[in-house]
Amino acid sequence: MREEFLIYGFDFDGTLCIHDYPRIGVPDEEMINIAKTLKNDGHKIIMITNREGKELQEAVLWCSSMGLTFDAVNDNLDEIKKAWGVNTRKIFVNKFVDDRAVHSEAFKLEHGRKGTLTQRIANLKDLVLIQGQDGNWDFDPYMLGMYNGMELALSVMEGRNPVYRNAPEHMKEKLA
Ligand SMILES: [Mg+2]
């Protein structure tokens, strides 16, 4: 066992296979291979699922038929139980992989008090429009650089190529 390892929690339905509960869906081979690679690299993997009884047993057997065996199923690692002296109801993992999971930072972007990501991009677009008005962007090299920097940021957010502006004639004269 390596000294430093991470604990990964994997959901089953919709994560290791296409969601088809109570049946077992088509395997997500890419995900299964990632889990196997992590385990081979010395990390720990836990199956975390709502499945119980017969359905749970079927899922565990299905995984082992694909060469995927877990260090724990719906339970904390023995190492964690021993170290903490308690088996907490929330299973401890370093990373949780679940088709229904949303990262807390992504969740704040969509629901937080600073507005949605879409709203924030719209705010940036307004500022780029103001900076792009004549008398602003073409005032001096600093303001031109500011415009092009803002345009670069907006283009990244919008997933497109930036449309830069070149120095106007009067600025070129000053620079020459
Ligand atoms: Mg799921």
The per-residue pLDDT for range 49-99, each reduced to its tens digit, is 999 999 999 999 999 999 999 999 999 999 999 999 999 999 999 999 999
Of 1, 80, 73, 79, nearest to 40 by C-alpha is 1
User: How far apart (Å, rounded) are the C-alpha atoms in residues 138 and 154?
Assistant: 19
Ligand 1 mean position to 100 CA, how many Å? Answer: 6
Residue extents of the structural domains in the chain: 7-101, 109-175
Residue 2 has pLDDT above 80, yes or no: no
CB 24 within 8 A of CB 59: yes
Ligand 1 mean position to 59 CA, how many Å? Answer: 13
Ligand 1 mean position to 8 CA, how many Å? Answer: 15
Ligand 1 mean position to 32 CA, how many Å? Answer: 14
The per-residue pLDDT for range 25-53, each reduced to its tens digit, is 999 999 999 999 999 999 999 999 999 99
Let me know if 5 is exposed, middle or buried by CB neighbors in 10 A (0-12, 13-18, 19+): middle
Of 80, 109, 107, 157, nearest to 71 by C-alpha is 80
Return the residue matching tokens 């930072």.
Answer: 105
Task: Enter the tokens of residue 83.
Answer: 């170290």
User: What pLDDT sits at residue 68?
Assistant: 98
Q: Which residues pair with 96 in a beta bridge?
A: 9
Ligand 1 mean position to 94 CA, how many Å? Answer: 18
Contacts of residue 102, defined as CB under 8 A and 6 or more positions apart, other chains included, come to none
pLDDT more than 70, % of the chain = 97
Q: Which CATH architecture has domain 7-101?
A: 3-Layer(aba) Sandwich (3.40)
Ligand 1 mean position to 42 CA, how many Å? Answer: 25
CA angle, 2 then 56 then 77, to 5° = 25
Ligand 1 mean position to 18 CA, how many Å? Answer: 9
Ligand 1 mean position to 16 CA, how many Å? Answer: 8
